[in-house]
Amino acid sequence: MKLLFLSGADRAEAWRAQFAKLAPELEFVQWPDVPDPAAIDFALVWKYPPGELARYPNLKLVSSLGAGIDHIVGDPHFPAHVPFVRLVDPSLTDGMVEYAIYGALRHHRQMRQYESFQRAGEWRPLPAPDTKSTRVGVAGVGEIGGAVARALAGLGFAVAGWSRSGDGPEGLEMFAGAAGWKPFLARTDILVCVLPLTDATRGILNAEAFAAMPQGSALINIARGGHVVAADLVAALDSGPVAYALLDVTDPEPLPAIHPFWRHPKIEITPHIASLTNPATAAPQVVENVRAFLNGKPLRNLVDRGQGY
Ligand code: GLV
């Protein structure tokens, strides 16, 4: 049985080592060196050229290397009959939670102001922020967003969530759908975007959304750059109400050197590093799904492509 690794070569060796250990019966094939496409049974994919998967006529199962699946949903040539599973990697979730906590505390504890005071040699205490009355809003409360919301609530923030259906983790105040979007934003001092990127959420962080947010609010985007309308964010930072944006994701990636985000004084950018899939914790579930497929058992984290996440 052959497993195609359809992603950058830089990550291949770590994955190859895991499969050698966990499933030596699977032969690891590193794309693009695929002498016999018909021999490929399984594929592990991340940001591959659209249409590529249609070249493997005997493909049985595709696993995403990450949590997001927009790269696959956006591929019009994805072989429709092939089941597709995504990863739910606990170590990926932990990294996302850590990054969201960092961004929320950085804004909440006014660290950027203190950095500028230090540069000016100023000893200048600001009024202490009150955590219980600082309202965090988590947009998208699935596997990762739910964990982010729980962690920030654990720090004492007033946390609420927003989702299309209004479903969310037990005990979390939720806002639902289009009707709940602006009320949710209006009570959100720190917005953490963890939404999936779908036709319904592309550009959702736009001028109208920013206008609904309170003065001095912050945006932490750990989802996809496509959620943000760049010019609208710059305008909301320049003229209010948004005071700070921490962006781990941009559109496109990498962000071109001339993009206004790079040098905006109220924007901080990291290169999509909030969290990375860890082959050691993620490979076992890929192998489990391959074995489940071969034994006719249900697959874990099967994606409904129609829904888009
Ligand atoms: C990373 O962006 C992922 O979706 O796993």
Q: Looking at the predicted structure, is the pLDDT value of residue 182 above 90?
A: yes
Nearest CA to ligand 1 atom 4: 68
Task: Kindly give the distance from the C-alpha atom of residue 280 to the centroid of ligand 1, in angstroms, as a whole number.
Answer: 16
Token pair for 15: 């994955």
Q: Looking at the predicted structure, is the pLDDT value of residue 266 above 90?
A: yes
Give dist(CA 138, CA 259) in Å, integer.
27
Does the Cβ of 225 fall within 6 Å of ligand 1?
Answer: no
Nearest CA to ligand 1 atom 1: 66
Q: Average pLDDT for residues 118-133, to the nearest whole number?
A: 98
Mutate to test the pocket of ligand 1, among 45, 71, 92, 148 (most ligand atoms within 8 A of CB): 92
User: If we measure between CA atoms, which residue out of 217, 67, 95 comes closest to residue 151?
Assistant: 95
Residues with catalytic annotation? Answer: 224, 272
User: If we measure between CA atoms, which residue out of 48, 68, 6, 116 comes closest to residue 248?
Assistant: 68
Per-residue pLDDT of 43-75, as tens digits, reads 999 988 989 999 999 999 999 998 888 888 888
pLDDT for position 150: 98
Task: Kindly give the distance from the C-alpha atom of residue 145 to the centroid of ligand 1, in angstroms, as a whole number.
Answer: 13
| Identity of the amino acid at 224 | R
**What is the band of 309 on the pLDDT scale with cuts at 50, 70, 90?**
low
Q: What percent of the chain has pLDDT over 70?
A: 99
Q: Cα–Cα distances in Å, from 63 out to 99, 143, 145, 202, 270?
A: 25, 17, 21, 24, 26
On the CB side of 161, CA atoms within 13 Å amount to 28
Q: What's the pTM?
A: 0.93
Task: Kindly give the distance from the C-alpha atom of residue 130 to the centroid of ligand 1, in angstroms, as a whole number.
Answer: 33
Instruction: Answer whether 240's CB lies under 8 Å from 217's CB.
Output: no
**What is the band of 111 on the pLDDT scale with cuts at 50, 70, 90?**
very high
pLDDT for position 280: 94
Instruction: Answer whether 154's CB lies under 8 Å from 141's CB.
Output: no
Nearest CA to ligand 1 atom 5: 66
